[in-house]
Structure 1
Amino acid sequence: MDTAPDFYATREMLAWLVEMGADEAIADQPVDRYALPGESPKIAAPAPIAAPEKPKAARLGPLPEVDAPAEAAALAASAQNLEQLASVMEGFDLCALKQGARSFVFSDGDPAARVMIVGEAPGREEDRAGRPFVGRAGQLLDRMFGAIGLSRSAPMADQAVYIANVLPWRPPENRTPSDTEIAMMLPFLQRHIELADPEYLVLMGNTPCKALLGQAGILRLRGNWAEVTGRPALPMTHPAYLLREPGAKREAWADLLSLKARL
């Protein structure tokens, strides 16, 4: 007679045990619950698992505050020519605009020109091209100065213009630069003017006037000659404003004729 346990019988026994409530294995050895009263067998509890120690955070003192304008001033003063100035400006990491910009926009035109135009900041087209004033406003600017015999591509310095911006990186969504951003980058702009050494400055819009004259309100300032770093400066309405307000082109033409008379 075959005494090997029958598979189906064993399965039925297990099913009966589960039905009776014995559906878990509590210990390695079975416990006789019907034994005479006495000391119940002790089942060793599993050793607790120690929680891993949390690494102790290093205690750091407060981070020193960086004086961004002072850092910019030191870097600007170290530049002995325009190439060096462009290099130290491009490596300046304290202006957050750099992180979101595609291009570093330094200048365009002839650095030996008698006239230096200072704009606000690169826009979308300028950020793509890496040059200032290349969008619709830039095209209008070229026509404006071409009307008085000046061009950024002129072969002779006395017929050329040199163009730069207060900020070399595009602000998000072409927003107006903040006072903090202007103050941070101002030492670079001042050094840029010193190294280019133009005879005349043209301040295109509110931001250059705020940076170099400490004043805003371009519709009040335009056409009134001022002095910046020891040289005559003419505030003018920005070409982007003239595209929105064509009626203001008459006043812009008067400003251009004033510059032509000086030249």
Structure 2
Amino acid sequence: MMMDTDKQRDLIAYLDFHEEAGVDIALDERPHDRFSGPDAAVAPEVKPVARLAARPPIERGEPEKPATRTPTYGGSAAAPPDAAAGSARAQASEAKSLEELEALLRAFDGCPLRFTAKNLAFSDGDPAAPVMFIGEAPGADEDRVGKPFMGRSGQLLDRMMATIGLDRTGAYIANIVPWRPPGNRTPTPQEAAICRPFLERQIALVDPKLIVCLGSPATQALTGTKDGILKMRGRFHKAQVAGREFRVLATLHPAYLLRQPLQKRLAWRDFRLLRAALDGAA
């Protein structure tokens, strides 16, 4: 018996919802909180016995230490954030080209996001372009394709660039975090800090004339500000990256504009400022 059209459409929509939420595998009939870790499982209740066997005395020396477990994420050992960030700095500094940097990132296992993402979304566009756009993190479409800004936000970004005579052959695009966070959540400060050395090396190798930060996370990561994007947008800021100073323009993220289309007028002003800067008039 064939499934009717309505049921088939509902089933496809149901599966699409789970994919967008980051659910890509079913392991059991009931949900489990995988973020709680193996140590959070409730121990079975043990009934007391009438008499316990006497414990042999401990010889003098070092006191007993409780057993420790290495934290895991996605079934793989996860290094402490400080150690992972140090390893990222050491590896990123060795990259002599963007190709080497991308290869190092593909092999890097210090960021837990790598274990939940399908693909690394390293970059798109022309590294020799004068402007570099930096967003927050890949989404479901970016994770599937392996490039930043491939979904609805990317389509809007393409249209925004087109209004000032730009396209992906005249711009370079990246994110502060190259792996998709589960459920499209905002990257944690620890995840951003671990990935930052790779981003800084990426910026240094591209050496853009201008950097455009799309949204608060990218703006805060590069400029160090705690102000929101509505306060930071529409003007140029300075960012210190790898011992060099870069000119940064903050503007609204395309995903925000999809939710708040009336704010596109602000983004239009920002992109006109970008065009003037590229032409040497601002």
Q: TM-score range by the shorter chain?
A: 0.7 to 0.9
Give me the whole-angstrom Cα distance separating, in 1, the residues matched to 2:268 and 2:145: 28
- Corresponding residue to 2:251 among 236, 242, 252: 236
1:125 aligns with 2:135: no
The offset of 1:161, in angstroms, is 0.5
- Corresponding residue to 2:264 among 249, 254, 258: 249
What is the DSSP-based 3-state SS (H/G/I as helix, E as strand, rest coil) of the residue aligned with 2:149?
A: coil
Give me the whole-angstrom Cα distance separating, in 2, the residues matched to 1:151 and 1:243: 20
Give me the whole-angstrom Cα distance separating, in 2, the residues matched to 1:254 and 1:204: 14
The offset of 1:60, in angstroms, is 8.2
Give the corresponding residue for 2:100.
84
Give me the whole-angstrom Cα distance separating, in 2, the residues matched to 1:77 and 1:166: 17
CA 1:247–1:67 in structure 2 vs 1: closer, same or farther (change >3 Å)? same
Give the corresponding residue for 1:195.
205
What is the identity, as a one-letter code, of the residue corresponding to 1:131? K
The offset of 1:186, in angstroms, is 0.5
Cα RMSD for the two superposed structures: 1.7
Give me the whole-angstrom Cα distance separating, in 1, the residues matched to 2:106 and 2:234: 33
What is the identity, as a one-letter code, of the residue corresponding to 2:176? V
Give the corresponding residue for 1:134.
150
Give the corresponding residue for 1:149.
165
**Superposition TM-score, scaled by structure 2 size:** 0.68
The offset of 1:123, in angstroms, is 0.1
Give the corresponding residue for 2:234.
223
What is the identity, as a one-letter code, of the residue corresponding to 1:103? N
The offset of 1:99, in angstroms, is 0.5
What is the identity, as a one-letter code, of the residue corresponding to 2:220? K
Query: 1:1-263, aligned counterparts within 5 Å?
Result: 67-152=83-168, 154=169, 160-216=170-226, 217-228=228-239, 229=241, 230-263=245-278
The offset of 1:61, in angstroms, is 8.6
CA 1:214–1:122 in structure 2 vs 1: closer, same or farther (change >3 Å)? same
What is the DSSP-based 3-state SS (H/G/I as helix, E as strand, rest coil) of the residue aligned with 2:211?
A: strand
The offset of 1:87, in angstroms, is 0.7
What is the identity, as a one-letter code, of the residue corresponding to 2:236? W
Larger radius of gyration: 1
Identity, % of aligned positions: 49
Q: Which runs of 4+ in 1 moved over 3 A?
A: 59-66
What is the DSSP-based 3-state SS (H/G/I as helix, E as strand, rest coil) of the residue aligned with 2:154?
A: helix
Per-residue deviation, residues 1-39 of structure 1 (Å, max 9, x unmatched): xxxxxxxxxxxxxxxxxxxxxxxxxxxxxxxxxxxxxxx
Give me the whole-angstrom Cα distance separating, in 2, the residues matched to 1:78 and 1:111: 19
The offset of 1:163, in angstroms, is 0.2
What is the identity, as a one-letter code, of the residue corresponding to 1:223? G
Return 5+ residue gaps in structure 2 as ranges: 1-65, 71-78
Return 5+ residue gaps in structure 1 as ranges: 1-58, 155-159
What is the identity, as a one-letter code, of the residue corresponding to 1:95? C
The offset of 1:88, in angstroms, is 0.7
What is the DSSP-based 3-state SS (H/G/I as helix, E as strand, rest coil) of the residue aligned with 1:67?
A: helix
